[in-house]
């Protein structure tokens, strides 16, 4: 049964809402412009904030729904963690995008909201705070990744600490180019990009 849930979670996670909405609603392929990413941030830059928010909400839901359904049942923490991880991996390695995809921050938020709501909300607040202070969405995302295992411990969700550590490493790997640009001082702040437009 766990295997079935893992497959379903992966398939739901793999739906490229950013690509579908950007091409359908504003005639733009996010893979060919901006950061060439199908995530909410790039869609917002290319199509407008309202489209980015819609992609963000859908990407959060595709992580939340499978994790919430499984965590409410009799499955143990390991099975629940595997299902949540599959939803996140579906976003990162989508079969509809030749096994490429986004950075999975929104899908990660959705999955963890189902597993450790308080810890995730605290991590999101830290993420938003860093973005507000620095203007760098990537730095906020990395902050979220670091905070998830910390808040898993602080809120007593020890069973999901292994998942939080794995996802932290995954998010850092997916942001490796952003990290290099941040180190070189070449990362484009969200605020400056919006002002330039």
Distance between CA 62 and CA 15 in Å, rounded?
Answer: 8
User: CA of 64: how far to CAs of 76, 80, 90, 163, in Å?
Assistant: 17, 12, 13, 15
187 vs 155 pLDDT, higher one: 155
In DSSP notation, 64-105 reads HHHHHHHHTTT--HHHHHHHHHHHHHHHHSBGGGTTB----H
Query: What number is the average pLDDT over the span 92-99?
Result: 93
Q: Check whether 143 has a pLDDT greater than 80.
A: yes
Residues with Cβ within 8 Å of 94's Cβ and at least 6 positions away in sequence, in order, are 13, 14, 15, 16, 100, 101
Q: Where are the domains of the chain?
A: 2-196
How much is the pLDDT for 17? 94
Q: Check whether 65 has a pLDDT greater than 50.
A: yes
Q: Check whether 116 has a pLDDT greater than 80.
A: yes
Q: Check whether 44 has a pLDDT greater than 90.
A: no
34 dihedral zone (left: phi>0; alpha: psi -120 to 50; beta): left
Query: What number is the average pLDDT over the span 137-166?
Result: 97
How much is the pLDDT for 191? 53
Q: Check whether 77 has a pLDDT greater than 60.
A: yes
* DSSP 8-state secondary structure symbol assigned to residue 160: G
Distance from first CA to last CA of the chain, Å, rounded?
50
Kindly report the pTM of this predicted structure: 0.91
190 vs 75 pLDDT, higher one: 75
Residue-wise pLDDT for 78-90, tens only, equals 999 999 999 999 9
Confidence class of residue 195 from pLDDT cuts 50, 70 and 90? very low
């Amino acid at each position: 049964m766990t295997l079935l849930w893992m497959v379903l979670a992966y398939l739901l996670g793999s739906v490229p809402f950013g690509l579908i909405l950007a091409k359908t609603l504003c005639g733009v392929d996010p893979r060919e412009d901006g950061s060439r990413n199908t995530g909410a941030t790039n869609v917002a830059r290319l199509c407008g904030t309202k489209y980015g928010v819609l992609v963000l909400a859908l990407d959060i839901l595709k992580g939340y729904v499978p994790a919430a359904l499984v965590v409410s049942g009799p499955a143990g923490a390991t099975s629940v963690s595997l299902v949540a991880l599959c939803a996140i991996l579906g976003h990162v390695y989508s079969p509809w995008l030749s096994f490429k995809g986004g950075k999975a921050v929104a899908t990660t938020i959705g999955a963890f909201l189902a597993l450790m709501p308080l810890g995730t909300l605290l991590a999101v607040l830290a993420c938003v705070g860093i973005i507000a202070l620095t203007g760098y969405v990537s730095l906020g995302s990395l902050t979220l990744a670091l905070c998830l295992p910390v808040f898993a411990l602080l809120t007593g969700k020890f069973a999901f600490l292994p998942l939080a550590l794995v996802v932290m490493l995954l998010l850092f790997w997916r942001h490796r180019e952003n990290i290099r640009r941040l180190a070189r001082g070449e990362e484009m702040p969200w605020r400056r990009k919006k002002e330039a437009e």
